[in-house]
Amino acid sequence: MKAVIQRVSNASVTIDHKQVASINSGLLILLGIVNEDTQEDIQWLTRKIANLRIFEDENGVMNRSLIEVDGDAIVVSQFTLHASTKKGNRPSYIKAAKPDVAIPLYESFIKQMQEDLSKKVQTGQFGADMKVQLINDGPVTIIIDSKNVE
């Protein structure tokens, strides 16, 4: 399971000209899922994201988590995070899980994230053509792969 986490001052998701999610200060989480992902990946990744100290404290040091700043989150499914670009110029998405595997894991990720944050998490819509708008605060962008933990 791979996530691109962006600290934002605001973000929104629009589908068919209708805004379906909107937050102010918090995190935009782009989530890619592969067939090998499990509940363990979800639990590890949601805890890591919720507790990642990337928000500034009173001294301007990135020392506070999303939980500590009571920030909001939007989770957007994005199979393109698992693109393979080694051969040719057209990315291959063969590693990305098909919807029958990915949708239940995506929904479980959202549920676990809500439990970890003790608040509702906004989302895009799995498989939809979404327009994601954000102001990256910092900019701060972190990539986390549950299969490549260092």
Quote the tokens at residue 50: 């919720």
Q: What value does the mean pLDDT of the chain take?
A: 96
Torsion angle defined by CA atoms of residues 3, 46, 21 and 64, in that order, rounded to the nearest 10 degrees:
-100
Judge whether 75 lies within some domain: yes
Residue 17 backbone dihedrals phi, psi, to 5 degrees: 65, 15
Shortest CA distance to 28 belongs to which of 148, 123, 131, 127? 123
- Cβ atoms of residues 12 and 22 within 8 Å: yes
Parent domain of 72:
2-145
Q: What is the pLDDT of residue 34?
A: 96
Q: Residue 149: is its pLDDT beyond 80?
A: no
Q: What is the CATH number of the domain that holds 25?
A: 3.50.80.10
- Please indicate, yes or no, if residue 79 is contained in any of the structural domains: yes
- Band of residue 150 on the pLDDT scale cut at 50, 70, 90: low
Q: Give the pLDDT band (50/70/90) at residue 147.
A: confident
Residue 3: pLDDT band by 50, 70, 90 thresholds? very high
State what percent of residues in the chain have pLDDT above 70.
99
Q: Which two tokens stand for residue 55?
A: 């928000």
Question: Helix/strand/coil (H, E, C) string of 41-54?
Answer: HHHHHHHHHHHCCC
pLDDT of residue 44: 96
On whether residue 20 sits in a domain, the answer given is yes
Does residue 113 sit within a domain?
Answer: yes
- The residues annotated with a catalytic role in the active site are 78-80
Is residue 150 one of the residues assigned to a domain? no
* Helix, strand, coil content of the chain in percent (nearest 5): 25, 40, 35
Reported in sequence order, the residue ranges of the chain that DSSP labels E, i.e. its strands, are 2-15, 18-23, 26-32, 55-56, 62-64, 72-77, 122-123, 130-145
Count of domains in the chain? 1
| Ranges 21-30, 68-77, 140-149: which has the least confidence | 140-149
Residue 117 within any structural domain of the chain = yes
